[in-house]
Structure 1
Amino acid sequence: MTSYTEVKSKVIRNRILEILKQSEVDIDKAVSITESDLTDVLTDLQINNFDFGKVAGLRKEINYTGYKIVYKDAKIMKIKEDTFDIDTVPKDY
């Protein structure tokens, strides 16, 4: 599977991060992002058949900003804030 160009991927990743900051969470504390949320960017980039799997560096960028991808397919992605609880780490080290 070929990825979008680095420039297109960066624009899409930035738009996804903007959506994350503005979105309200679902019941399961995740934010759902669909292809329709990115329509304006996809039109500007002239991408007709969008696929989240083709966005280069998406998982790395999401993880770096404190979120994690819970579910992803071609047309929808669920992202949750990555919370680290120190109490859940085993103490037998």
Structure 2
Amino acid sequence: MLRAIEIINKVVKTNDTRVNSLIFISAQQDTSDLPHFKPKDCLKKVIAVGFNGTDLGKVVENVTGEAISISYNFSEHDARNVIDALLKEF
């Protein structure tokens, strides 16, 4: 997951018009060594979804976004929470 965030930070350009939001999903339990997402003007929102109590709050500290924790066997309610977080303020 560390490498994934680093690649996203490097590849997504500030003025990229192909993307405006990102939903990042992980079940990694130890998130202490994860980098933050770097703010990009094109990313209006980053939603970090952690399975089984994974707290991804740290990775979205520097961007407009939200960290949500859902169960591994996620329900329709969990999916709705992710969608609502993404669409909030759009």
Query: When the two structures are superposed, what TM-score results if normalisation uses the length of structure 2?
Result: 0.28
Q: Does 1 or 2 have the higher relative contact order (CA < 8 Å, sep 6+)?
A: 1
Query: When the two structures are superposed, what TM-score results if normalisation uses the length of structure 1?
Result: 0.28
